[in-house]
Structure 1
Amino acid sequence: MNNTSQDSRERIGVRNTHNIISIIFLSLVALLALSFSIMLLIKNASLKREEEAVRMELEALNNEGYYTLTEADRLVEEAKKEAEIETTNSIKSKIQSKLEAGEGTTATIRSLFPEQMVVASSGKYYFFPILDSIAHHGFGDEDFVVGDDGFLKYVGNDTNVHVKKGIDVSRFQGKINWKKVADAGIDFAFIRVGLRGTKEGTLLVDDCFSDNIKGATENGIDVGVYFYSQALNEEEAKEELQIVLDNIEPYSIKYPVVIDIESADSDTARTNNMTSDDYENVVRVFCDMVRSAGYKPMVYGNVKSFTLLMDAKDVDDYGIWIAYYGTPLYYPYHFDVWQFSSTGTVDGIEGNVDLDICITEY
């Protein structure tokens, strides 16, 4: 019986111990749950404060004129469309005003592309970037004006620029009274030695060459000479130069010996299939031989010559005689002689004559 009582007391003690442990465990769980709940409440309150702060910041930004990314993209697209419309209207207005002022289509197009040379040929327009690798002449649009005598005069500020007045002549001017030409103040003359035919390629000496070079030199006018080339290759370039050298040998040639490179503008022209490389090779052969013979080489051409027929940078080693009628000169690169008119008048010459100015001392 005593053993039984003792067992009962032991069982009661064990149960009490288990109950205490359970109570302690449940208390710990409750405490952890309470702590976690408190942490969640604190975190939630913090998030609400951050959300409120962000909301207030966005409202402030909106009040200051800031936009969301979507709004910004929309505004950019609207601005681009407005700019395109404004640019288009500006270009249209510029074109309209120039055409109404009487400017031609080519001149109008050129004004819209100031960083390129625009060349019209055979119903097409060609665009050539203006290169910094070639020396520019540096003259402004207002630096040259036509004087009372019909010649261009320099009115710019560069005291180193000195302009001389000249003409270029061939058999088309007929018999010339060179004394009257000299008395008219002409400083120099380029005289055509000859030409090669545009179709058959026949070599010809100008009918008036001898009379012109004698008349000019005897009246104190400095002379240069030129040959209208239609050479296809190196051999023909040498043939043309030989005619020049044979004919100028007795005379004092102060100004350059010139190869005239122009498009024949004919469906049957023998040069129609020539490439820029072909033209440049002809020029190099001719001009290098001129230099070797002791004369000054020069290339004559218009804007088309120095863009479509040749690359200006590839003939930059020689003197340049540019043909462009009117002012300002539509040619950005350096030049030595400018043929500015084909309808000039000079005492001693019947009819029209080409007028030139020279800015290089020879």
Structure 2
Amino acid sequence: MKTNLQDIREKRGVRNSHNIVSIIFLSLVSIMALSFSIFLLVKNASLQRQEAAFRSELDAITSEGYYTATEAQRLIDEASNEAEQRTKASIRETFRRKLESGEGAISAVRTLFPDQIVVSSSGRYFFFPISDEIEHHGFDENDFEFTDNGFLKYIGNDDIYIKQGVDVSRFQGNIDWDKVAADGIDYAMIRAGYRGTTEGKLLQDDKFIDNIEGALASGLDVGVYFYSQALNKKEAIEEAQLLLDMIEPYDIKYPVVIDIESAESDEARTATLSSDVYEENAKVFCDTVSAAGYKPMIYGNVKSFALLMDAVDVDDYDIWIAYYGAPLYYPYHFNMWQYTSAGKVNGIDGNVDLNVCITEY
């Protein structure tokens, strides 16, 4: 009997426990439902506030006015036209200032195309993108200045080798080389010979012997150059060999140079020569000189290394660039720079070409 009573009590205890768990579970569900309802109410209120804000902004835009696609395109076109007119005005102003300063049209054009080499020939302008395939000279526009005697002086921060030189031919007449050496000149580039521009005859410069012997006797270092009018590689080799024969008795420390320039005449034998032939002639001339144990070099102006040759294709050779004035417009590496044709040097009557050499030979 006692056992049955105990069983009944235990069963009642289990039922009571189940009831308590159920009550707790239902309470938690009710709390979660209430929380979710509160969350929905808050979210709904937030959405209503956002909608009200959007409507307020839309009303403001509508009240201030807005643009259709057509109207927006019209405004874009007007702004573009205005910018184009301002650009044209700026270009005209640049040209006007350049021309008024006496720099000339080519200088004005070059200012507008700083990433290209601009040259003019026969009334036309030619544009060549500046290449990164070859070394640039790296000089800043403020690295050089002219001294009181008209010599070009390096004032940059780098420690570079630089020597002052002249280049001469029969056009300078009789030269007092002792006075030249005493006037701060370190070396002389002497024209040894040339080929005639029409008949193509090979000729020695009338003052070659006097100039080379006078310069050497005065203690100047000497290089030589030959004005080429070769029509093909055979003639270029012929020019180089003649030059080598002429300089054989002398101590030549500076380069042996081929002078590549366009003849300013329609009757010149090279008037229709292609740039490929000019390049081939320059290369075979230099290779012939190098094989004889001398340092070859190519002389030319900016037009020579743009129109007559591709600077990239002759990059393996030393370069003597002719460009008058500073800063140097030519962007690529060079070894010698002819910076004026109107130099004044004691011992030379009249004007003479002045040069700086930045390579030790």
TM bin (shorter chain):
0.7 to 0.9
> Which residues of 2 match residues 2-151 of structure 1 at below 5 A?
58-59=58-59, 68-151=68-151
**Counterpart Cα distance in 2 of 1:296 and 1:63:** 82
Shift in alpha-carbon separation, 1:84–1:349, aligned structure 2, 3 A: same
- CA deviation string 1:102-128 (max 9, x = no partner): 331111111111111111111111111
**Counterpart Cα distance in 1 of 2:208 and 2:176:** 14
Shift in alpha-carbon separation, 1:162–1:58, aligned structure 2, 3 A: same
- CA deviation string 1:121-146 (max 9, x = no partner): 11111111111112111112221111
Which residue number in structure 1 is paired with residue 311 of structure 2? 312
**Counterpart Cα distance in 2 of 1:232 and 1:123:** 25
**Counterpart Cα distance in 2 of 1:101 and 1:59:** 59
Which residue number in structure 2 is paired with residue 233 of structure 1? 232
TM-score normalised by the chain length of structure 2: 0.81
Which residue number in structure 1 is paired with residue 275 of structure 2? 276
How many percent of aligned residue pairs carry the same amino acid?
Answer: 65
SS at match of 1:313: coil
Q: Which moved more, 1:168-177 or 1:74-83?
A: 74-83
- Aligned pair 1:192/2:191, yes or no? yes
Shift in alpha-carbon separation, 1:351–1:103, aligned structure 2, 3 A: closer
Which residue number in structure 1 is paired with residue 152 of structure 2? 152
Letter of the aligned partner of 1:84 in structure 2? E
Are 2:339 and 2:354, in contact at CA under 8 Å, matched by a contact in 1?
yes
Shift of 1:154: 0.6
Are 2:149 and 2:344, in contact at CA under 8 Å, matched by a contact in 1?
no
The answer for unaligned runs of 5 or more in structure 1 is 1-50
Shift of 1:98: 2.3
Letter of the aligned partner of 1:273 in structure 2? T
Shift in alpha-carbon separation, 1:77–1:207, aligned structure 2, 3 A: same
**Counterpart Cα distance in 1 of 2:189 and 2:268:** 25
SS at match of 2:312: helix
Letter of the aligned partner of 1:286 in structure 2? F
> Which residues of 2 match residues 241-280 of structure 1 at below 5 A?
241-280=240-279
Q: CA RMSD in A?
A: 2.1
Which residue number in structure 1 is paired with residue 354 of structure 2? 355
**Counterpart Cα distance in 1 of 2:89 and 2:55:** 43
Letter of the aligned partner of 1:204 in structure 2? L
- CA deviation string 1:6-59 (max 9, x = no partner): xxxxxxxxxxxxxxxxxxxxxxxxxxxxxxxxxxxxxxxxxxxxx999765544
Letter of the aligned partner of 1:225 in structure 2? V
**Counterpart Cα distance in 2 of 1:198 and 1:76:** 59
- CA deviation string 1:293-342 (max 9, x = no partner): 11111000011111111111111111110111112211111111111111
Letter of the aligned partner of 2:121 in structure 1? S
Shift in alpha-carbon separation, 1:216–1:132, aligned structure 2, 3 A: same
Shift of 1:60: 5.3
Q: Which moved more, 1:140-149 or 1:90-99?
A: 90-99
The answer for unaligned runs of 5 or more in structure 2 is 1-50
Letter of the aligned partner of 2:185 in structure 1? I
Shift of 1:224: 0.6
Which residue number in structure 2 is paired with residue 41 of structure 1? none
Are 2:188 and 2:223, in contact at CA under 8 Å, matched by a contact in 1?
yes
**Counterpart Cα distance in 2 of 1:137 and 1:64:** 59
Letter of the aligned partner of 1:126 in structure 2? F
Shift of 1:61: 5.7
